[in-house]
Amino acid sequence: MNELLRRLLFLPDQASTFARDVDQLHFFVILTTFVMSTAVGMTAVFFFIRYRRRSETQTTPHIEPPAWMEALFVTVPLSFFLLWFFMGFSEFVRQQTPPSDSMDVYVMAKKWMWKFAYPDGPNAINVLRVPAGRNVRLLMTSRDVIHSFYVPEFRIKKDVLPGRYTDQWFNALEPGRYQILCAEYCGAGHSIMRGEVIVMKPQDYEDWLASAKRGLASRQDGAPTSIDFAPPIGNLIEQGKRIAAEQGCFKCHSTDGTRHIGPTWLDLYHRREKLNDGKLIDADEAYLTRSMMDPALEVVDGFQPVMPSFEGRVSGPEVAALVEYIKSLQSDAVRTGPSEGPAYAPVRNR
């Protein structure tokens, strides 16, 4: 039935762990709408014939429906809408929660191309290679305008924004080649902003990665991206620590919980921060990214807005690495279990 409906609705192949579940929701909505619309239409035709006006003097009697019938007409459609919501919400939460063992890949969108960089591997233009059956998290940002990363066979689509980064994860089921499209109009070259995901067998991927580290990947995927696109040394956390030292972040922020010119980075991630206007905010990835781009926008209570803006000084993947480094700075109490304690302030108030 799944394959029949997929073909009837002209949907592409189901090539990721998301695809089948997303399609099941789609099929449920389509079939429910089709059945109910048909039932309403046929009932209307029946009423037109059965209760048609039979003479010029015929009048329509006033009918007072019982309470149970009114309740039925309200609760039955509402139950379907609630069912749609809970089915869709559970899938949304799943897609927004990357597994902890995901392999990270940097993505930089630019008019009109996709640039990919592996934390411990090569860079590539318009070609993303991943192993089949492995969770992959894309850390995405844009150098110019809003783009949207879309792979129809994977049923994933995520906006790629300038000045901050978003993430999207997937798990490709079978080796093959799958087209990448930009799903947000971004200018005259929007239609040619295409790329390709090459899903490889795990061993083939490891062999390619090893050969790429020896400098052979550039012959296949084009010239590597510039050094400011993604630092090629070490993993995300190590890169973030190195960038923080290069940018002078440690002159104002501590990593051991002590108070300094700016708030400490220890246990910062996902702590509730009180701003100088009394507002509370969650220090998530988007918040930390904004703090580097526009530090005066949300100032933590008790600190002065002395941190300069880093917009244009650090690239998108470098911001991603800094955020990952901050996320890694957790005390033993946080690692062993959740706790409620005083909020720490964000990276913005340097």
Bond from prior residue into 112 cis (ω within 30 degrees of 0): yes
Topology of 236-336 in CATH?
Answer: Cytochrome Bc1 Complex; Chain D, domain 2 (1.10.760)
CA atoms within 13 A on the CB side of 328: 13
Q: Which residues contact 153 (CB under 8 A, 6 or more apart)?
A: 12, 13, 14, 15, 16, 19, 178, 179
Nearest to 135 by CA among 164, 105, 90, 165: 105
Q: What pTM did the predictor assign? A: 0.60
Predicted pLDDT at 121: 66
Query: How far lies 188's CA from each of 28, 107, 111, 161, 333, in Å?
Result: 37, 21, 9, 18, 52
Topology of 103-221 in CATH?
Answer: Immunoglobulin-like (2.60.40)
Task: Report the C-alpha gap between 201 and 229 in whole angstroms.
Answer: 28
| Phi, psi (degrees; rounded to nearest 5) at 256 | -120, 10
Q: Tell me the CATH architecture of domain 2-53+61-95.
A: Orthogonal Bundle (1.10)
Mean pLDDT score across all residues of the chain: 83
Percent of the chain with pLDDT over 70: 88
Rounded to the nearest 10°, the torsion over CA 139, 143, 147, 152 is -40
The residues spanned by each domain of the chain are 2-53+61-95, 103-221, 236-336
Q: Are strands 127-131 and 135-142 parallel, antiparallel or unpaired?
A: unpaired
Contact 154, 23 (CB under 8 A): no
Confidence of residue 333 (pLDDT cuts 50, 70, 90): low
Q: 296 or 178, which is more confident?
A: 178
Quick count: other Cβ atoms within 10 Å of Cβ 96? 11
CA atoms within 13 A on the CB side of 111: 10
Q: Are strands 280-282 and 272-274 parallel, antiparallel or unpaired?
A: antiparallel
Residue-wise pLDDT tens digits, 41-75 = 999 999 999 888 888 888 877 888 899 998 998 99
Predicted pLDDT at 308: 87
Length of the chain, please?
350
DSSP line for 92-147: HHHHTS--TTPEEEEEEEETTEEEEE-TTS-EEESEEEEETTSEEEEEEEESSS-E
Confidence of residue 344 (pLDDT cuts 50, 70, 90): very low
| Residue 205, H or E segment | helix 202-213
Residues facing 274 on adjacent strands:
280
